[in-house]
Amino acid sequence: MPAGLTDTTAVSAPGKVLLAGGYLVLDRAYTGLVFGLSARINVVAQTIETSPGVQLNEIVVDSPQFLEAQWTYGYHLADQDGGIQVTQLRTGTALHPNPFVETTLSYGLTYIASLNGLSLSDTIPSCRLTILADNDYYSQQNESAAATTATGPPPSRFARFPTTLSGANKTGLGSSAALVTSLTAAVLSHYLPVEVFDLTTDSGKETLHNLAQAAHCAAQGKVGSGFDVAAAVYGSCTYRRFSPSVLAGLPEPGQPGFGTALQAVIAGRGRDGDGRDGAAAATATVGWDTQIAKRSVALPAGMALRMCDVDCGSQTVSMVKKVLAWRSNAPDASKALWDTLQAQNEALATALRDGDTEGDTIPALLRSIRELVRKMGTESGVPIEPDSQTSLLDALSTVEGVYGGVVPGAGGYDAVALLVRDDEATARRLETFLEEWSRQSGGSVRLLGVKGAMEGVRREDKGIYDGWLLP
């Protein structure tokens, strides 16, 4: 049994918005300007109390905001150093797999078992994990129904939704990366003593980042750029992706050697000690070569990053494939465009960090970035900034207090990000504008409550979840 086991452990991790660097962040030659968000995914780990002489070997995962959102897993240590295998147990008439939860548990428990040198005869105690998501992760067109049909706590910070998790309409704030990160942090913090894992330290964050990246890539079935996990761990930063080879050859959970291989991958180093870009990151040939620079990102005093939910949706995977195909077929033209876009993205980061809110500097940079993104979309045949989003952003940019905005990340129809004055008058003008825009266009665009935030993963006081946790 791990020595650091505690009764209740609560952590949270933020969502993200890739303000600049969409598509570029897929290539290590370029960076992304990513902001963490005030909307967070929370995970609370609790020991499961049993009667004397009764021993359970299961983990129960609850997402009580949604219907039919409970998963129970059995787990055991595989032979031949195969790590911890996690198996979903049937608790009702049908199984509803959750690959992000299942994979994260397997990776997290394997890391704990390898770290503690557990043998086949050892056990990891059972626990209950409760997941609570801030409301802005989901479009709430049916908010009133959620309020009237729910029982239990009122739908304030954590609404109850009259739907299953798979039926919920996401707003694209990076819920899967925030979930994997907060779930990994909760499991490690719950089972390991603070002298072994402390997520408030640089070494603790590095361990969490590497493990969450590995689990998230495995759960989504591909090695992504990882900027969303980096934001969940570190908060707002400029991000240079890790080489896909870092995770190449890692066995599947249960396969011989998975435990040792995962331990070696997590121990790899790709950043210098204080989180700044450095020679160690740039020249590493083994292990993580991610570069994460927090000090290069800031929002000026009096400015806020706000998000609008456009409640439509895009097929990001197909868009990425088309952009990469265009880049392969037109290497010179695409490189020239990406180099120019990278320079503009860096200029925007500098203007924000320096607090350059006077004059037209930031609005002009946002317009220039949008123009280049539209050019990329035209040449690749991908609606990165669709005409409807162009019209919306152009109109929003005329609202008093709005510096400008972009279609963030991979683009498409499902969100816009705005840089605005951080005051109630500007927020009211935006809400009024969007109500009228939605009425005239027949669509649905709303200003989310979420704002850009600098902080990444953190411990939480379990008291904020009163009414949601089982005793």
Q: pLDDT for 416-436, tens place per residue?
A: 999 999 999 999 999 999 999
What residues contact residue 316 under an 8 Å CB cut-off, 6+ apart? 409, 410, 412
Q: The domain at 8-296+456-465 falls in which architecture?
A: 2-Layer Sandwich (3.30)
Q: Is 276 left (phi over 0), alpha (psi -120 to 50) or beta?
A: beta
Q: Looking at 106-244, which runs of residues are DSSP E strands?
A: 127-133, 237-240
- Longest Cα–Cα distance of the chain, Å, equals 72
Q: Which two tokens stand for residue 11?
A: 């952590």
What residues contact residue 136 under an 8 Å CB cut-off, 6+ apart? 15, 37, 39, 171, 173, 307, 309, 448, 449, 450
Q: Could you state, in chain order, the average pLDDT of each consecutive group of 10 residues for the chain (471 residues)?
A: 68 98 97 98 90 70 94 92 92 79 97 81 85 90 40 67 90 94 97 94 97 97 95 98 93 95 83 35 59 95 95 72 97 98 98 93 98 98 95 97 97 93 98 96 92 97 91 75
Domain 303-453 has CATH 3.40.640.10: no
CA distance 428 to 445: 14
Residue 284: what pLDDT?
34
Residue 62 near residue 70, CB atoms below 8 Å: yes
Measuring CA to CA, which residue among 323, 332, 349, 253 is closest to residue 19? 349
Residue 208 near residue 18, CB atoms below 8 Å: no
What residues contact residue 451 under an 8 Å CB cut-off, 6+ apart? 37, 38, 304, 305, 306, 422
Residue 249: what pLDDT?
87
Residue 55: what pLDDT?
57
For the chain, what are the domain ranges? 8-296+456-465, 303-453
